[in-house]
Amino acid sequence: MPKTLLHRYTSSPRAFPLLASLYPPLLGSGIRIRHIAPDWTRGELSMHVAPWTANTNGTAFGGALFAATDVLYGALLSGQLGGGYQVWTKSATIDFRAPGRGRLRCVVDVPGPEADAIRERLADHPSTSVVHTAVVSDSRGTTVVEAQHTMFIRRKS
């Protein structure tokens, strides 16, 4: 059972997108979590880059969206693993490929077998790390940003 009302709502795949989108860094940058699958296996982030900013700093907007992908990946993984685990970002790298234009989108997948494999690894070890790749693309399908996150996961004491 979640400790507080906030914990209960953030542990719900229906309420999480709204609550996370109200988080000041996401709200201020226009990043929205559009969807979370009921089983926490998939989530989608998006943001809109205005045409007059696309040529000057559209790549930076792709970077901002990239920064939210570790939040989403961590939430999906935490949702599948359950309350007995802690997940956080250990490191990240980003490769800018093209200026962001129009609507930027990133779909993050955490297949059930991936979460099961992590759970099995943690049965024998107190912690583990996993590397996740996220791709941010524009409405034409052009890759704007490709990023890798190293996530640290451990069992709670």
Domains detected in the chain: 3-153 (3.10.129.10)
CA distances from 145 to 80, 105, 137 (A): 26, 10, 7
Average pLDDT, the chain: 82
pLDDT at 8: 61
Residue 1 predicted with pLDDT over 60: no
pLDDT of 66 over the 90 cut: no
- Which pLDDT score, from 0 to 100, does residue 2 have? 55
Write out the E strands in the chain: 32-36, 42-49, 85-96, 102-109, 127-137, 143-155
- In tens, the pLDDT along 98-126 reads 877 788 888 999 999 999 999 999 999 99
151 contacts: CB under 8 Å, gap ≥ 6: 70, 73, 74, 77, 87, 88, 89, 90, 129, 130, 131, 132
Burial degree of 124 (CB within 10 A; 0-12, 13-18, 19+): exposed
pLDDT grade for 129, boundaries at 50, 70 and 90: very high
